[in-house]
Amino acid sequence: MHVRTAELSDAPAITALINDAYVVERFFLEHDRITLDGVRERFATGQFLVLEEEGTPVGCVYLEPRGDRAYLGLLSIHPARQKEGLSRRLMQAAEKHCLAEGRRYIDLTVVNLREELPAYYKNLGYVECGTSPFTAGVATKLPCHLINMTKELA
């Protein structure tokens, strides 16, 4: 397995991977997590790292530079490969990548309804630093908000 920077031609595979991984959010969202156009748009503002095994993407994460900070989002591991430590491996690669680009912090958000996520990120050294409204214009089945988290990179 190796991690590489994605190319625009990877957008369809990334879209499918994210939507497969985020099917767990169907209890509060009625639609796919992201569209192909949404993935393509993110290539203009940041980049995806892809974790591959024998040429097949099994994980991805989005990184967007913001000065000395980076925003991390859409961490996704194929459902058949979850619980194997791959998300931790991808997070370590993302942090190393951000450090190499001169970023000092990584920021991320998690929806409060995914109660397992703050603990997961806290275990990786992230700390809660506030809340913000859920994504504007996205209808949800349940009321929700985002938990903001950050980590200073060493």
Q: What residue ranges do the domains of the chain occupy?
A: 2-152
Give the SS3 label for residue 141: coil
Q: The domain at 2-152 falls in which architecture?
A: 3-Layer(aba) Sandwich (3.40)
Amino acid identity, position 56: T
Question: Which residues neighbour 75 within 8 Å (Cβ) at sequence distance 6 or greater?
Answer: 59, 60, 61, 87, 90, 91
For residue range 41-67, list pLDDT tens digits in order.
999 999 999 999 999 999 999 999 999
pTM here is 0.95
Q: Does 139 have pLDDT greater than 90?
A: no
Look at residue 138 in the predicted model and tell me its pLDDT. Answer: 87
For residue range 65-114, list pLDDT tens digits in order.
999 999 999 999 999 999 999 999 999 999 999 999 999 999 999 999 99
pLDDT > 70 in the chain, percent: 100
Look at residue 30 in the predicted model and tell me its pLDDT. Answer: 86
